[in-house]
Structure 1
Amino acid sequence: MKRFAAALLGMCLSGLVAAHSFQLGSIHIGHPWSRAMPETSATGSVYLSLENQGKEADKLVSASTPRAETAELHTHVNDNGVMRMRKVDSVELAPGKTVKFAPGSYHVMLMGLKQPLKAGDHFPLTLKFEKAGSVKVDVVVQDGGAAAEHSH
């Protein structure tokens, strides 16, 4: 019975981790996560969703974390049939719209990781918006399989 209760508690807690979100004014930040990376990797990415629930446009203008030397806003662009990653100065958040940061799209690029991204780890990420201000969110590091299944 104790094993069953422990397993049930673990399933409930893992569901909470998979569905964490944050709110800053009219900006809803959905499930910030990163994929576990090999110990030798100096880079990683953070994915999340940003929903502007307000009536005015806003912009995500920067990100920072103590986990890496640099955090930049990036996207992928098709350059004559070749997908290339590009740094962007900001990400527009139109009123009533959601922007998804996902593999192959927008992401927060972490460069100069100070320690490996291991499944189960958490780390803080500060997001700065042009109008809404700044908010610190908790990024969950997921293994490759769990990250691939996540649809946020």
Structure 2
Amino acid sequence: MIRVALLILSLCCTLSHAELLVTQATVRLLPPGVPNTAAYFTIENNSQHAEFLVGAKANFVAKAEIHNHIHHNGMMKMQQQSEVKIEAGQTLHFAPGGLHIMLFGLKQPLSENQVLDLSVQTKSGKNIRFKADVKSPSIHKHHH
């Protein structure tokens, strides 16, 4: 009986992770010696309720944070986000000039087409893991 309950619980958790789908994930390749970079991706909320992203992790950097570019007093600046809401059925684009994952303190140099593991965390405790390809900045496109 306990095994059946654990199986059902694990299936529920697996299905709930599939409700948030990350695609088109990339990490910006910058010149050697630049210690920080950014990750971009598209995330779809296929669930029936809003989800909130509250954090990010990547084992190839010292720290990862959710950031957004904002206009303040006529200037563009980055600002850390404590949470980002994704409405039910909504797709968000993390792209240059907007939402992105800021990656601080690279532990090793990156190379073109390298594949890296990242994750984002939700307020409800879900950890959504995904892979991102390292790409030169010219590959990135703005989404509006």
Q: 1:26 to 1:132 in 2, by over 3 A?
A: farther
Aligned residues: 129
Which residue of 1 is the match for residue 29 of structure 2?
36
Structure 1 runs not aligned, ≥5 long: 1-22
Deviations 1:91-137 (A, max 9, x none): 10101111110000000000011112321111110211123611221
Which residue of 1 is the match for residue 121 of structure 2?
128
Q: 1:45 to 1:134 in 2, by over 3 A?
A: same
Deviations 1:30-51 (A, max 9, x none): 1110111111101000000111
Matched, 1:50 2:43: yes
Question: Could you say what the CA RMSD is over the residues aligned between the two structures, in angstroms?
Answer: 1.9
Q: 1:99 to 1:151 in 2, by over 3 A?
A: closer
Q: Secondary structure at the match of 2:96?
A: coil
Of 131, 135, 141, 1:138 maps to 131
Q: What is the rounded CA distance, in whole Å, between the counterparts of 1:31 and 1:100 in structure 2?
A: 9
Which residue of 1 is the match for residue 8 of structure 2?
none
Matched, 1:111 2:104: yes
- Give the aligned residue type for 2:41: L
Matched, 1:147 2:140: yes
Q: What is the rounded CA distance, in whole Å, between the counterparts of 2:116 and 2:67 in structure 1?
A: 19
Q: TM-score, normalised by structure 1?
A: 0.78
Matched, 1:26 2:19: yes
Which residue of 1 is the match for residue 71 of structure 2?
78
Deviations 1:73-96 (A, max 9, x none): 000110111000000111101011
Q: TM-score, normalised by structure 2?
A: 0.82
Q: What is the rounded CA distance, in whole Å, between the counterparts of 1:40 and 1:30 in structure 2?
A: 28
**Structure 1 position 24, deviation (Å):** 2.4
Q: Secondary structure at the match of 2:54?
A: strand
User: Does the 8 A contact of 1:57 with 1:94 survive in 2?
Assistant: yes
Q: Secondary structure at the match of 2:140?
A: helix
Of 90, 99, 108, 2:83 maps to 90
Q: What is the rounded CA distance, in whole Å, between the counterparts of 1:124 and 1:104 in structure 2?
A: 23
